[in-house]
Every structure is written in structure tokens, then in C-alpha cells.
Amino acid sequence: MNEVTKVLCERRSIRKFKNEQIPRDILDEILKCGTFAPSGKNMQSAKIVVVQNKELIGEIAKVNGSFVNKPGLNPFYDAPTLIIVFADKFVSTYIEDGSAVISNIINAAFSLDVDSCWVHRAKETFLTEFGKELMKKWGLGDNYVGVGNVVLGYRDMILPPASPRKEDYIIFDNKDILLTICGYKDGDFNLNDYFDRIFKNIFEDKLIAVSGKEQCENCINYQNCEYSYKEE
């Protein structure tokens, strides 16, 4: 894995934070990455609000938690920084745009040793009178809808392991085509078993890519073919 793919696979949601604020230069870098998230037709429909006032975070947390039947829930886990992502509901891709911003933020944060958790119920929170007043304060019109919250900080816990990925996560429509490029025929072996086994081994790091196979590099299946992997 390179550094980018390692971040994407090793980031975890954190629900216990230290009482330590993120340095401003690091926060700015994380936020900048959020602004470079893809958006439909490059409309950039999202807005990012940063809250670091502890009392205000607590007030927003109470409203957010009121939508969950879990007494005593602290939905922001005492994180020192709260990011709220809004998007313009009149842009057809506003949910996707806002979600892409959140994804960039949490992954950029982890790459800079800052932990995070994506917290839902932003939409519900900012449809309340309390939420609407905050939106006015922040200069956000009625066309903006809460897409999601992100809490940021430094974890006060061990980084949890990843849960197993479901075996049928990835489905290839063109399995037959991919394998016939390498000269295999459907009757040689079970194509479904082949791909299930290969991808399972790749994701579990039991197989690693092998470079220098010039005869395979133009194949559309080069990165996923058993020929281009060897046992770790």
C-alpha cells in the first residue's frame, strides 16, 4: 500500500478524545482538503462551519442527541472541534457533495494524526428553531441543509481494529471477459470461486503485487489477476 491507500484502510471512527485542541495550521490543512472534494458539475454546493467553543458544542450535542433514544448519550464524545457540513438543497447533488467533503476531511485528518468521527443528524438538528438561529448567525440561508457532523481531536483510546469486510462487497460484471484475456476458459475452473479467493487474499494482504510482468501490463485485469500477485 502507498501512504494514501494506507490512510483510507486504517482510519477508524473514534469516540473518546483527549482534552487537547488541534493546532490551527493542521486544522486549516484539513479544511482545505475538504474544499477540494469532488462536487456535481463543480458547483461546490457545500459550506463548512467550524465550532470550537466548548459550551456551544455542548448545546448542539444536546439537540443532536435528542433525536436518539439513548439517555445520557454524548454524540460528540467531548471532541474539541466540531465540523458541520451544510449543502445547498437546490443543487441536485447536494447530499453527495456534502458527503464527499466529509470524507475528505476525515481522511485528511487521519493522515495528519488527527482522529475523527462522522456523526449524523445534522439535518434534524438544524431544522429546529435552535439550529435555524445558529444558521442565521453563520450567514446560511434557508436553502442550506445539514448533511453531517465531524468531530475532530486526538484519541484517548487505542485505535480499534477494522471489522471484517463483507465477502460480497465487490461484484465484477465482466468476470468471463477478464479471464479470457489471460487465455482461461470458463470450463477451466469456477470463475466466481477464482475471483472470490483472489480478492479475499488481496484484501487480507496474503498476496502482494509483482512488478515487471511486461506481457500483462496492457491487460485491464492486470492489477487483479493471479498472474500479477505472489504470496506474501
Residue 25 and residue 59 in one domain: yes
d(CA 151, CA 75): 9
Number of domains into which the chain is organized: 2
For residue 137, report the phi and psi dihedrals to the nearest 5 degrees.
Answer: -60, -35
pLDDT at 187: 44
pLDDT at 99: 98
pLDDT at 71: 86
Residue 25 and residue 130 in one domain: yes
Is the residue at 197 inside a domain?
yes
Q: Contact at 8 Å (CB) between 199 and 184? A: no
Please state the pTM of the whole predicted model: 0.77
pLDDT at 171: 75
Residue 133 and residue 185 in one domain: no
Residue 149 and residue 187 in one domain: no
Q: Which domain holds residue 206?
A: 175-231
Residue 118 and residue 66 in one domain: yes
Residue 23 and residue 86 in one domain: yes
Is the residue at 160 inside a domain?
no
Largest CA distance in the chain: 67
Which residue ranges in the chain fall short of pLDDT 50?
A: 176-189, 229, 232
| Tally of CA atoms within 13 A in the half-sphere of 209 that contains its CB | 12
Is the residue at 19 inside a domain?
yes
DSSP code of residue 22: P
Is the residue at 114 inside a domain?
yes
Secondary structure (DSSP) of 32-86: HHHHTS--GGG---EEEEEE--HHHHHHHHHHHHTTSS-TT--TTTT-SEEEEEE
Is the residue at 14 inside a domain?
yes
Q: Contact at 8 Å (CB) between 35 and 98? A: no
pLDDT at 219: 54
Is the residue at 187 inside a domain?
yes
Residue 132 and residue 182 in one domain: no
Residue 80 and residue 44 in one domain: yes
User: At which residue does the C-alpha cell 470524507 appear?
Assistant: 103
Residue 12 and residue 100 in one domain: yes
Tell me which amino acid residue 97 is: D
